[in-house]
Amino acid sequence: MFGLSNSIKIKNHNWLSVSIKGICLICLMMFTACTKTGESSSEFIDNIQPADELYNQGLANLESGDRKEAREKFEAVDKQHPYSELSRKSLLMLTFMSYRSGQYADTVATGKRYVTLYPGSKDAAYAQYLVGMSYYRQIPDVTRDQNITAKAYTAMKVVTDRYPESEYVQDAKLKMRVAFDQIAGKEMLVGRYYQERREFLAAVNRYRRVVEQFQNTRHVEEALARLAETYYSLGLISEAQTATAVLGHNFPDSQWYRDSYNLLNAGGISPNENKNSWISRTFNIKAKKNS
């Protein structure tokens, strides 16, 4: 028994020794691997360059036409010296470079990040303006989806609302009008499509949206004339008369008014405004706002 007990103890001891050695060996291998592939904190610190040195190198690279190297320097400033003044300037330079290179997605990303991090900066209006211009440059043909046009309008509206004293406001307002007109044009295109297919109710909904939401665009005259046509086709004579009367009152020299007037006249009726019509209410609201 004594011999058997000692034998068990010896075997257990040998097993334990092997296990400990195995664990140590594994740890040693892991440490060695980390040492070979990893980077110590001291090495990381040694690789950090002064912010002004990186920034000036970036400017020099940009001046010489080496945009790739310039971008790397500005990105290094942003990475190695976050939230510093030169990091702020580097982020703005990255936004500017992306826009000039036609990399609009990158412009939007860095521009939005700049505005988020430095909303009170003197250059925040410029960064936001570049975001708007990136969308604006991508506005598609009126026959296509106008989602990006809406984004251009919204981004430029941020410029006018948040930075009303900035030098970019006037151009931002101009771009907003162009984008707004484009969106209205898309509504008219869809409305005409439905009207040609004699889906008059669907057409009315599109034209109505233009009259209610896009009165300051060049499409509102046609929208009123198309409403007169579609309401007339639906047998809603009072609404057709109202659309024509409002069109004549607001745009008396319009060819669209003459066409609508002739349409009613051919049917033996004349323009007559119903003050309870949504068309009259919409333009009365507009008149009160402008007064």
**SS3 letters across 69-112:** HHHHHHHHHHHHCCCCHHHHHHHHHHHHHHHHCCCHHHHHHHHH
Q: Residue 48: its pLDDT value, please?
A: 84
Q: What are the residue ranges in the chain where pLDDT is below 50?
A: 1-37, 39, 41-44, 46
Residue 113 makes CB contacts below 8 A (sequence gap 6+) with 91
Burial class from Cβ neighbours inside 10 Å (0-12, 13-18, 19+) for residue 114 reads buried
> Residue 30 domain-assigned?
no
CA angle 285, 290, 277 (to 5 degrees): 20
The domain in which residue 221 lies consists of 198-291
> Residue 177 domain-assigned?
yes
* Residues found in the chain: 291
Please indicate, yes or no, whether residues 61 and 118 belong to a single structural domain of this protein: yes
Tens digit of each residue's pLDDT (9 = 90 or more) over 205-215: 999 999 999 99
Q: Residue 192: its pLDDT value, please?
A: 98
> Residue 25 domain-assigned?
no
Please indicate, yes or no, whether residues 131 and 248 belong to a single structural domain of this protein: no
> Residue 161 domain-assigned?
yes
Please indicate, yes or no, whether residues 82 and 152 belong to a single structural domain of this protein: yes
> Residue 261 domain-assigned?
yes
> Residue 118 domain-assigned?
yes
What sign does the CA torsion over 128, 131, 136, 137 have? Answer: positive
Q: Residue 72: its pLDDT value, please?
A: 96
Q: Residue 16: its pLDDT value, please?
A: 41
